[in-house]
Chains A and B, each alone.
Chain A
Amino acid sequence: MAGTQPHIAVLGGGPGGYAAAIRASQLGARVTLIEKDKLGGTCMNRGCIPTKALLQAASYLDQLKKASAYGIRSGKITIDFERMMTHKDRIVGTLVHGVERLVKGNGIRLVKGTGRLLSDHEIEVESSSGKREVIQGDKLILAMGSKASSLSIPGIRSKGVMTSDEALQIEAVPKSLLVIGGGYIGLELATIYSRLGSKVIVVEKMPTIFPGEDEDLCKILTDALNQEGMEILTNTEVKRIDEDGRGELKTTLTSEAKGERVVEKILVATGRVPLVEEAAIGKCGVRFDGRGVSVNGKMESSVPGVYAVGDLAGGLLLAHVAYAEGMAAAENAMGGDSVMDYGVIPRCAYTFPELASVGLSEKNARDLPHDVRIGVFPFRYNGKALVSDEQVGLVKVVADALHGEILGVHVLGPHATELIAEASAIMHLEGTAEEFMSLIHAHPTLSEALGEAASDLIARAIHRPPAK
């Protein structure tokens, strides 16, 4: 059968790449996966997973502090940062090893090295020892990912200025940390180090943190973070960075918040840029711009038979988007007809409290020619949130007034990143406000807040006082 079995070469072993490789293999392809470093990509090695490991540590710390109110006495709480980092690395190692086993278990050939396109069906791989090999593929799937973007301001190369990669590898909790960028990456790392004791300042040039997310929720989150001791400066930019000679960094701010802040470390978290300049893809005619490789709905690039997925293809740089795109690309490379649907993609920020959303924000929904209804339910009326003493936040449901189409759901609060799955499911299956509010939620759970928010669309929530 070898003669008829298609060969698919995947360049990059992150979520997009390894999902593509596994799906292609499931569909009967012979697959070669090329990775220059460790499998798992940014997500597992430098992103989602290590940050969550540290956030879990920060969460335990918080729970230990709260535990006394529940009658649990513990001794003096101390932080063993080295151990925390080792534990994080162990979790990462376990997952990476798991992906290696998945790849192997699916009969995929893993080639370690840096790939470069020779043509629309050839990738030359150079291993770290300098050995070269040309991989032939009937179809190619490109998944080289992204890197942290930088800033061009004076002093950006100063010692102590970090990317998110480096912020996950530092040896001690900095006394003070200034984070440039109030998006997912910046605020998660800000949350970690703030909880571990750093004095954290977040600088965001837009009028709100998490630009594009629901403004009401962002405001509550900003207040909560400020209350924790973070300093959130919106409408503000860092103009320059100066080393003060005593190992500290002086930052000069412009716009709304003026003045200077002197900190030990600076984290630049202004986003990520697709690695379109890698692997000489342009030479083979693959079209791209600064936002990523141009692809059609089937993830195929301008060169037929060459697909691009994940961060490399731009759009939403999220691991779960990369998974979906990788699978779609593999299915299409194997002759299928999978068109990516970006209509329902949850977005999660693991701050304290967590912020998770799917669909349109209230503002974006109101910009459409829809009559929009809003249903809101604060967690302070939810029994389970009271039990765990996590009452900050609310659920907001944005629906079309005519048919009750759920346009967006926004959750700020405990386990928001898990709760959002219910909203995604309802939207994916095209349930309307009616189905949402008549769905029976177990009691006592946080998920009740979702049902109540949906019921609030027509002012039928039970556990909150009627609006005046």
Chain B
Amino acid sequence: MARELVMPKLGAEMKTGRIVEWRGEEGEWVEEKEVVVVIETDKITYDVECPASGFLHIVTGVEEEVPVSATIGFLCETKQELETVVSKAEKPETKRPVEPAKEPEEGRTPMPSQPSQSPRPRREIRISPLARKLAQAEGLDMATIEGSGPRGRIKKRDVLRSIESRKEMVSAPPPERVAAVEPGGEKKVKGVIPLRGMRKIIARRLYSSLQQMAQFTDMGEMDVSETVAFRQKLLEQENLIGARISYNAIFVKIAALILKEIPIFNASVVEEEIHLWEQINIGMALALEDGLIVPVIRDAEKKAIVQIQRELEDFIERGRGHRLTPDEISEGTFTISNFGSYGAFFGTPIINPPEVALLGLGVIRQVPAVVENEIVVRWSMNYSLTMDHRVIDGATGGKFIQRMREIVASPHLLGVMW
């Protein structure tokens, strides 16, 4: 039996997914557990593993967008089966996207609007005249609008929703199309890396972040000697604790506790209002070979450091394999970026929208410090706290840093603060 490959549902809100890349060729034998296709949503790229070994038949082409659960390919046990599947698939009926409900009347020919046989670069755009006019007037790319009408027809409400979300997210023109090479120069193109998948998501999100907020960064350093000693003890008792506690886990906890005390950092701007969030969900920027992802520790203020550590380890493990789901990278309310891990001192980190602040951590190193008129060796860490000035003023930022200084000076508090 040929096995269907379907567009996976990676999160509660995911309705459609787009094919970024097929790792297997048409008709090729692919092994179970091998990554066969890379898909993307508007938030994430994801490696899909083969549920079984088999000869691959590709149904949905690269760049095509299909609803969740739609068939994107087949895995056939034998060559013969592959041929049968391919010949069947060439009949247009089997290629029809999944329909939400039955046709109201039997015996009626369906509307003649099915996609053609070969994979096409873009999905067919079904759009109402009014929606088309609105989209054109707003300069929206109709291919990016998700239609809520019959068979994905784009209606007025979809365009309005898209305009709204663009207000929140992206300002025109699309970032990936901005920097064009000036013509007639001496420069020659050596290679081309398509701006797609995770790269495209990063480009769009961070570009739009800078377009929509008044970001400023407060930089400074703080004495973290006590915290270094605290962590050293935790490392010594690694066996007892059952985890190797990282600075990241400690600072996730510290940030969460400060956010609880100063809720304006745990907020978003929604139209003309600042919404303070009930949950404290700390995102931790995680560098990958080919990009960056920000998995989220939910309700971080309520979690023990060891639990945060375990979650981070799991995120790192799965993040590297592109196995995080959109739910795991959604609904962050604050982000930490530890650029110290690659030796940086300061940064100008960009806020992860719709959050309003981000804490960048520099490298922790020994410095000569003056303590009670003596020069002594202390552990120091730089910080770069980026804030959205629409919401947070410098003095409020100062409060955050002051509180952070206090906690890193008395890290034993972390065991009792809740």
Report A's interface with B, CB cutoff 8 A: 336, 402-405, 429-432, 434-435
Contacts and interface: CB of A to CB of B under 8 A. Distances in A.
Contact of A430 (B101, B128, B137): B128
A425 B412 CA distance: 70
Nearest to B155: A430
A431 B153 CA distance: 13
B156 interface: yes
7 contacts: A402-B137, A430-B128, A430-B130, A431-B128, A431-B129, A431-B130, A432-B129
Pairs A-B, 10 closest by C-beta atoms:
A430-B128, A430-B130, A403-B133, A432-B129, A432-B130, A435-B129, A405-B130, A431-B129, A430-B156, A403-B134
Contacts of A405: 130, 156
Nearest to B137: A403
Contacts of A429: 128-129
B125 to A, nearest CB: 14
Contacts of B131: 430
A397 B130 CA distance: 16
Interface in B85-143: 101, 128-131, 133-134, 137
Contacts of B128: 429-431
Given A430-B129, A431-B129, 10 more contacts: A403-B130, A404-B133, A405-B130, A430-B128, A430-B130, A430-B156, A431-B130, A432-B130, A434-B129, A435-B129
B93 to A, nearest CB: 24
Interface string B345-388: 00000000000000000000000000000000000000000000
Nearest to B104: A26
A430 B133 CA distance: 11
A402 B138 CA distance: 12
Nearest to B134: A403
A223 to B, nearest CB: 35
Contacts of B133: 403-404, 432
A405 B128 CA distance: 11
Contacts of A435: 129
A336 to B, nearest CB: 8
A185 B131 CA distance: 37
Most buried by B among A402, A432, A435: A432
Nearest to A402: B137
B216 to A, nearest CB: 35
Contacts of B156: 405, 430
Contacts of A336: 101
B318 to A, nearest CB: 31
Most buried by A among B128, B129, B137, B156: B129
Contacts of B137: 402-403
Nearest to A403: B133
Nearest to A341: B157
Contacts of B130: 403-405, 430-432
A358 B20 CA distance: 45
Contacts of A434: 129
A270 B133 CA distance: 43
Contacts of A402: 137
A409 to B, nearest CB: 15
A404 B129 CA distance: 10
B30 to A, nearest CB: 36
A435 B127 CA distance: 14
A336 B102 CA distance: 13
A407 B155 CA distance: 15
